[in-house]
Structure 1
Amino acid sequence: MQHSPGEYAPDPRDVSIEPLDLAARVDDALAVQAIAFGLTDDEISVRRHIVLRHAAAPSARALGATTEEGRLVGFGYGMSNDRTQWWSTVVHPYLRQEGNDVWLSESFVITELHVHPAFQNRGIGRELITRLTDGAAEPRSLLSAIDTESPARALYRSLGYRDLARRVRFPSATSPYVVMGAWLPLYRR
C-alpha cells in the first residue's frame, strides 16, 4: 500500500506479536479478516461461530499482532488436524486424488492468518505463521489459500509450503482453493 506525504504509514516496529485470547478478541480478529479478505457482514456472522468453536479446541493456539495502542492489526491461529472436522473432510478427496492424503495425519493446520492491508509486506504474517508452527508438536503443517498467485501464496512458498492439491472447492466459496503443506520447522530467510 502506498502512502502519500503526511499520511500515517504504520511502522512494523510498533507492532508486537503475542499470544492472543481469540475468544475474547474474536470481533477484533474478524474485523481484521473482513478487511484483509473482503468479508460481508453475513460471512462475519457465520465465521464468528466457527472461530469461537475453534478457540475452544484443546490444541488451538492463537497469536495477535497489536499496535502500542492495543489495536489488533493481524492474527493467526491453528490447531492439530482432526480428520473428522469439516475442513479435513472437504479437502480429503482432493488430497487423496493427488496421493497426498497422508498429510492429514500428524499435521498442524494454520486455520486463519490475516494482516490488515495497511500493515502487510512488513514481515508480520511471516512472524505470525513461523511462531505458530514453531510451537507445534506435529512434524508438518497444512493450510488452504485461494488458488491464485498472490503475495500470501508467495509467502507460504518462501516458508517451504508446496501445493498438495489445487482447485479445491469449499461449499459456498466462489473461488477455488489450494491446500499447501510444509515440513516443520518452516524455512527461515
Structure 2
Amino acid sequence: MDDATVGPVDLAARVDEALAVQALAFGLTDDEIAVREQIVRRHLQQPGVRSLGATSPSGRLVGFVYGMPNDRGHWWSTIVEPYLRREGGDRWLDDSFVVVELHVLPAYQGRGVGGRLITGLTDPVPQPRTILSALDLDSPARRFYRGLGYADLAHPVHFPSAPIPYTVMGADLPLRRPARTTADDPA
C-alpha cells in the first residue's frame, strides 16, 4: 500500500530530517552526518538545484531526493572526470543533471517511493541526460537505477575518505518507468 506523498520540499528547512533519513537508509555516523549537512547546505546555494520529499500521512519525511545541473568545476565532477575519461565517457559531465542524493527509509522501500522521487526530480529538467554515483556493489539500489535506464559509465571510482568504491551511472532523460515490482528503492 502506498502511503507516502511525493512533492516539493524545502530541503534547507528540513535538512536535519533528510539527513536522519539518509543516516538510517545509508548507515551514517554522527560525524558523517555533520559533514554531509555542510555539503547539502552548500549545494542548496547552486543554480538550478531541485529537491523533492516523500512524506507520511503524519507529515514525517520518509524519503528525499535532490540534484542540480552538473558543473565540471564541482568537486564531484573533478573526482569522477578521470574515471569517465578513461572509459571514453567524460561527455556525460556536459549538459547533464546530477542526482546528488536519493534516500528512502527502509520501511518505505519497495513501494515505488524512490521511483516517484527520482522521476519527479528529473522529468522537468532541460538537460538531456542524468548522472549519479552509487556504491560499486551488486545492490538493490543499482538494480533500481538500471530499471530506470541508468547504465554503468565508470567503476570502480574512488572518492577521498570513502572506504567503498562507487560506480558512476548515466541515463538519457526521461527515465524509463519500470513495471511495478517488489524491487527495493535505493537506500
Place the TM-score, normalised by the shorter chain, in its bin.
over 0.9
1:169 aligns with 2:154: no
Q: CA RMSD in A?
A: 0.7
Q: Could you tell me how far 1:106 is from its partner in structure 2?
A: 0.2
Q: For residues 164 and 115 of structure 1, what CA distance do their matches in structure 2 show?
A: 24
Q: For residues 141 and 30 of structure 1, what CA distance do their matches in structure 2 show?
A: 23
Q: Could you tell me how far 1:188 is from its partner in structure 2?
A: 1.4
Q: For residues 25 and 52 of structure 1, what CA distance do their matches in structure 2 show?
A: 11
Query: Paired residue for 2:56?
Result: 67
1:151 aligns with 2:151: no
Q: For residues 24 and 61 of structure 1, what CA distance do their matches in structure 2 show?
A: 14
Q: Percent identity between the aligned chains?
A: 64
Q: For residues 147 and 27 of structure 2, what CA distance do their matches in structure 1 show?
A: 25
Q: For residues 164 and 133 of structure 2, what CA distance do their matches in structure 1 show?
A: 12
Q: Could you tell me how far 1:57 is from its partner in structure 2?
A: 1.4
Could you list the runs of 4 or more consecutive aligned residues of structure 1 that deviate by over 6 angstroms after TM superposition? none
Superposed, which structure 2 residues align to 1:94-133 within 5 Å?
Answer: 94-133=83-122
Q: For residues 142 and 172 of structure 2, what CA distance do their matches in structure 1 show?
A: 16
Count of matched residue positions in the alignment of Structure 1 and Structure 2: 178
Query: Paired residue for 1:79?
Result: 68
Q: Could you tell me how far 1:58 is from its partner in structure 2?
A: 1.9
Residue identity matched to 1:24: A
Query: Paired residue for 1:186?
Result: 175
Residue identity matched to 2:22: Q
Q: Could you tell me how far 1:144 is from its partner in structure 2?
A: 0.2
Q: For residues 32 and 53 of structure 2, what CA distance do their matches in structure 1 show?
A: 21
Q: Which runs of 5+ in 2 are unaligned?
A: 179-187
Q: For residues 22 and 94 of structure 1, what CA distance do their matches in structure 2 show?
A: 31
Query: Paired residue for 2:81?
Result: 92
Query: Paired residue for 2:27?
Result: 38
Match of 1:160 among 149, 162, 186: 149
Q: For residues 30 and 121 of structure 1, what CA distance do their matches in structure 2 show?
A: 20
Q: Could you tell me how far 1:68 is from its partner in structure 2?
A: 1.2
Q: For residues 49 and 169 of structure 2, what CA distance do their matches in structure 1 show?
A: 19
Q: For residues 85 and 57 of structure 1, what CA distance do their matches in structure 2 show?
A: 10
Q: Could you tell me how far 1:135 is from its partner in structure 2?
A: 1.4
Once the two structures are superposed, what CA deviation does each residue of 1:70-120 show, in whole Å capped at 9, x if it has no partner? 100000000000100000000000000000000000000000000001110
